[in-house]
Structure 1
Amino acid sequence: MVSLSDVRRWEPDALEKVFAALGKHKDRLVGLDDELEGSARPEGWRGQAADAAAQSHAGLTRVMRELVVEVAGVRRAVAETTDEVEAIRRLLRESDDLAEGHGFEITAEGGVRDVAPPDDVPEDQVEQVKQERIRIRDQIVENIRTVLQRANRADDELAKVLADADRNLMDPGRGGSLADDAATGDSRGLAATIDAPRNGTPEENAKWWKSLSPEEQEALRKAPPAWLGNRDGIPAQVRDVANRNRIDDEREALNAEKAEIERGGVSDDERKRLEEVTHKIESIGAVEKTLERQPSRQLLVLDSSGERLKAAVAVGDVDTADHVSVFTPGLNSTVNGTLEGLDHQMNQLRAQSQHESDRHGEGGQVAAISWIGYETPQDHEHAPWHENSVTRSDAAENGGAKLNEFFKGINASRDTDPHLTALGHSYGSTTTGYALQGGGHGVDDAIVFGSPGVGTDDVEDLHVPEGHTYRIEARNDPVADFGRFGGDPTHMEGVQDLSAKESTEPDGRQKLSESTGHNGYVADDSTSQHNMAAVVAGLPDRTVRGEGRGVGDYISWAPSKIRDLF
């Protein structure tokens, strides 16, 4: 913790000297670029000696690249810290002058004492003078608070950069030369000294990002700190890089936790914890496999807190797409168990939506997100009365609050709002319902399918434009008749019915198959998939309408009897 006495002893000139010395070292290292390249294995040289020389050269190159990034990164961080130290000391001098000019004293601990109150104040001005001195005292107190807050932040930021350099945590990236590595290090050093609002809302995060200079934004794009990865309101491309950069660190931490549990044997109490950590490690692997797919993916959430690892993966560019969909799954969905399959389904839906947009719309680009950003209920894992049981709404309400922020962040991060569609299946539709009830989300269309309820029986509670909330119910899907959470959406006035039955496209060109049961809604070439794609593409006139009603919708006593089971 930096004290006021520490700040008074700070010497910006000393930092300037460090900055100059690091600049000379950086230039000297970058100047070795040609020599390093020229020392590579000559063309045509073969044999064990050649292989050994090549291996040695590769090791030297790696060390040189890391050293250049570290020197450049520390140098830039020192420069930014020097500017901040000068600004902090300037504010401290102004506070000292203000205190001295009005008879106050700033103590070594940062307190403010009234040491020379004015004498002989006219009686009719006593209260006015008193209030003015209180105002000045409060201003000095606030200045000192700001000085200490900024000083501690600057100290922490520079210490973090120095620690990363000392522990060889500065990745050179994919630069082709030492000069490229120096530029990477420069960005890393600048990025590490940029602070974001603490616990900012999506709107506050977006406002902060847009207030940065182009240079600062570019530095954060190249070398985003880890905390940017899960910040709603930050551009998707930045979140993607930040979260990808965290993958190795997350795996290392989880493996270390697993080794700690296994050391000395696993007790019954630790067995569940070990299982959770193991599943999280498996989830990291599933995320990596998903990110390797083409077209390129964006990793928008990577959260290892709680019982299971949470993630959200987009196919397409969320920052530029005209149409963005967010799919929330339900019961038994996990990153390690279902992310790859969900991502495949969303890629197929995105492709179909793009087809609709290109052929029947304005050709706007489409992005689709698989969002497993909450603790989804797991079958047989919790008793019915447990808060994470599928029979209760707790997990959906908690997840809905996070999903609401995620929706807001997509819109806030962009200069122009995309056409945003919320998709929710099964318990995920309940989570989506609670997210929409939070309001302010900017969702333009919502589709729930196989839904046991959306947490309300009034469509206006969802805050979606009138006529743009849809439901799909397939034949032989009992979950869609549960009406467990707020009633059966089938009977909600204002919800539009989309078909899941066998049909043809509205223009009659393609035959569409029927979806049956609880898990077939996004099957390729199905009517339900076509309907989702049309809505996602902003083409509701291209949907196939039609009610889907199960036995529970026709037997008046069935919903209450089913609810009794829970």
Structure 2
Amino acid sequence: MVSWTDICRWDPSEIALVARRFTEAAHSLTVGIENLEWELQRLDWSGDAGGAAKADLRRAIAENQASARQLEYVGQCVADTTDRMYPIRAVVRECESTSTDNTMPIDQDGAVTDGLTSYATGAEDAWDAARSRMRMLRELEASVAEVIRRASEIDTEAASRLRSAVAPEPFTPSAPVATASSTSPGLAAANATWWDLLTRSERTSILVDDPGSIGNLDGIPADVRDAANRRMLVSERDRLEQVAEDLESTLQANVFGGLFDNADAGLEQTLKRIAALDEIADVLDEGHRQLLVLDNSSATDTLAAIAVGNVHTASHVAVFVPGLDSEVGADVRRYDGDMDSLRSTVQQLVPPTETVACVTWMDYQAPQLGWSLFDPRRTVMSPLAAATGAPRLRSFLDGLDAARSQDPHLTLLGHSYGSLTAALALRGADTTGVDDMVALGSPGLGFDNVERLSVPPGHLFVAETRDDLVADTGLFGADPSEIDGVRPLATRSGGDHADSHGHSEYLSEGTVTQQNVALVVSGRTEAVY
């Protein structure tokens, strides 16, 4: 494995010159061989001496042809390796700049340390400054580790090729393998670095040949995830249609139907997934959408996340987590409409130079009514579904920041049971980039002390209508509206906006609650009422 110090000394431009010299030498040798072949053809020399001379020429031609091929091979190998070094060099410079500018030295083995023991900032900003610095440190650690891994991979492969005694077929770099998304700390930053380290041809190859490996990979740029997931949307629908046809054939051929093989249940579930994909496609057809998650394998139902606007460039990003009984097939269109309306409201509150994106995040298996009440994994009476979804949400939020050069103002919105999922995602998550959180109609956040939530002090908001029975249950801890440090949002207007009623009108267009949420998303928290 190469060290960080070794990698910092890599100079692709100098190595590219060496590659060119090899290629030029191969070309010169080839020209010399052609001249020898011409001389051999025109040589009119009979006798033993002439025969010996011709044999020597033929031997010299063969040896030089082998040398030319070897030089050409080495030159191509070095040139292709150089192409893969350029992205590494660019990321190394970014890491070194972050290290120098923020006093976070990187040692030769890639270990990163915080060179500051105290921060010159006011007390009111100390918490946020410490969190931002910890996030930067963790992301730098992840980036450096990924650079070393990638550089070592390239170095090992190139060394193996160059040590070959005989030139094989023309050198072809191995296709990079996208690592599966995980919830390990810092992985989103590692994924972002991994993508930055790829060449353009490698990125294109993955996007075309294996879009499923990057569509849900947190830390990858939003436009890339969108392109990959749109490809998967088409291929998944085609696959599921074939599955449905096969199951229908099985049922028709079986006099007992699905009694003994569950083909009928499988068909029902497959048709449900197809319907969910069709709903997603209809939402995307609205335009200005990004399909950031498409998962047809992790849960019983299809999971997805769709943004209105561009989360990769937006100044303000809101992520909405729905709750009880929410499903992609039945609800994504309605929630997307709420996010579209919220985005328009926020856009009116910010300067024209700032932009907004709002995400409907349905990448967890929300609890359901009916028979699911008796399933401990999906019952609304248990926090298990939220605890299972929280790490996925935390990774998604980290990925939004990691994929960008500058972090957006990030707001997390949770409705009903979704507020518990949101709160658990931020619980103890010291490196999260969430600036504000809003809980709407929450049955509890799983804690009674706001200090356990990784949100800046004074930036946790709660909205609860007077006739919202769910919000009064206290099913998962104290009533959020009664926790010290939580700021309430008005749900009754008395002014230009409509009142919010019940459990499901918090984000309805024109309501005072939607206006207050929009103020939070826009960063104007001092104006909420």
Same fold (TM over 0.5): yes
Q: Say yes or no: does 1:233 pair with 2:219.
A: yes
Q: Partners in 2 of 1:431 and 1:320 — Cα distance? A: 26
Partner deviation per Cα, 1:147-185 (whole Å, 9 max, x = no partner)? 69x99xxxxxxxxxxxxxxxxxxxxxxxxxxxxxxxxxx
2:411 corresponding residue in structure 1? 421
CA deviations 1:261-312 (Å, max 9, x no partner) are 2223141434333222111100010010000003x10000000012000010
- Contact in 2 for aligned 1:346/1:370 (Cα 8 Å): yes
Alignment of 1:86-485 (within 5 A): 193-197=175-179, 199=181, 201-213=187-199, 225-265=211-251, 266-268=257-259, 269-294=262-287, 296-305=288-297, 306-358=299-351, 363-384=353-374, 386-439=376-429, 440-485=431-476
Other structure's SS at 1:387 match: coil
**Would you say the 8 A contact 2:180–2:217 is kept in 1?**
no
Match of 1:526 in 2: 511
Question: 2: distance between equivalents of 1:300 and 1:84?
Answer: 37
| DSSP-derived class of the 2:381 partner | coil
Structure 1 residues not aligned, in runs of 5+: 1-78, 88-141, 152-188, 505-510, 545-566
Distance in 2, Cα, partners of 1:514 & 1:277: 41
1:523/1:383 Cα in 2 relative to 1: closer, same or farther (>3 Å)?
Answer: closer
Q: Is the 8 A contact 2:376 2:384 kept in 1?
A: no
- Is the 2:258–2:265 Cα contact (8 Å) retained in structure 1? no
Distance 1:85 1:261, change over 3 A: farther
Instruction: Specify whether residues 218 and 386 from structure 1 end up closer, same or farther in structure 2 by C-alpha distance, changes over 3 A only.
Output: closer
Query: What is the deviation of 1:523?
Result: 1.1
Contact 2:223 2:290 in 1 (8 A): yes
Which residue number in structure 1 is paired with residue 527 of structure 2? 542
Counterparts of 1:400 and 1:335, CA distance in 2: 18
Cα distance change of structure 1 residues 146 and 337 upon mapping to structure 2, 3 Å threshold: same
The alpha-carbon distance between structure 1 residues 261 and 371, as it changes in their structure 2 partners (threshold 3 A), is same
Q: 1:404–1:438: 8 Å Cα contact kept in structure 2?
A: no
Cα deviations by residue, 1:373-397 (Å, 9 ceiling, x for unpaired) = 0111111131345221111111111
Aligned to 2:418, the other structure's residue is in SS state helix
Deviations 1:202-232 (A, max 9, x none): 1110111222346655776788733110000
- The 3-state SS of whatever aligns with 1:237 is helix
Aligned ranges for residues 543-558 of structure 1 at < 5 Å? 543-544=528-529
Whether the aligned pair in 1 keeps the contact of 2:318 and 2:413 (CA below 8 Å) is: yes
Rounded to whole Å, the distance in 2 between the matches of 1:222 and 1:246 is 10
Aligned length: 364
Structure 1 residue 494, shift from structure 2 partner: 0.7
- 1:3-58 deviations in whole A, cap 9, x for unaligned? xxxxxxxxxxxxxxxxxxxxxxxxxxxxxxxxxxxxxxxxxxxxxxxxxxxxxxxx
Aligned amino acid, residue 297 of structure 1:
R
Give per-residue Cα distances to partners, 1:501-559, cap 9 Å, x unaligned: 0233xxxxxx0110010001111111000001010011112212xxxxxxxxxxxxxxx
> Any idea what SS the aligned residue of 2:264 has?
helix
Partner Cα separation in structure 2 for residue 410 and residue 207 of structure 1: 13
Identity %: 37
Whole-angstrom CA distance in 1 between matches of 2:181 and 2:78: 23
> In structure 2, do the counterparts of structure 1 residues 321 and 220 end up closer, same or farther at CA, with 3 Å as the change threshold?
farther
Pick which of 220-229 and 245-254 moved more.
Answer: 220-229
Q: 1:214 to 1:261 in 2, by over 3 A?
A: closer
The answer to whether the 8 Å contact 2:339/2:358 transfers is yes
Are the equivalent residues in 2 in contact too, given 1:384–1:390 (CA < 8 A)?
A: no
Please report the TM-score for the alignment, with normalisation by the length of structure 1.
Answer: 0.60
Tell me the SS of whatever aligns to 2:365.
Answer: coil
Aligned partners of 2:395 and 2:439: how far apart in 1? 19
Q: Is the 8 A contact 1:330 1:376 kept in 2?
A: yes
Equivalent position amino acid for 2:366 in 1: T
The answer to whether the 8 Å contact 1:501/1:527 transfers is yes
Q: Flag the 1:486–1:85 CA change in 2: closer, same or farther, 3 A.
A: farther
Change (3 A) 1:261 1:83: farther
Closer/same/farther in 2, CA of residues 372 and 466 from structure 1, 3 Å limit = same
RMSD, aligned α-carbons? 3.2
Structure 1's consecutive aligned runs of 4 or more residues displaced over 6 angstroms after TM superposition are 84-87, 145-148, 218-224
Is the 1:471–1:490 Cα contact (8 Å) retained in structure 2? Answer: yes
Match of 1:258, as an amino acid? Answer: A
Structure 2 CA distance, aligned partners of 1:488 and 1:195? 47
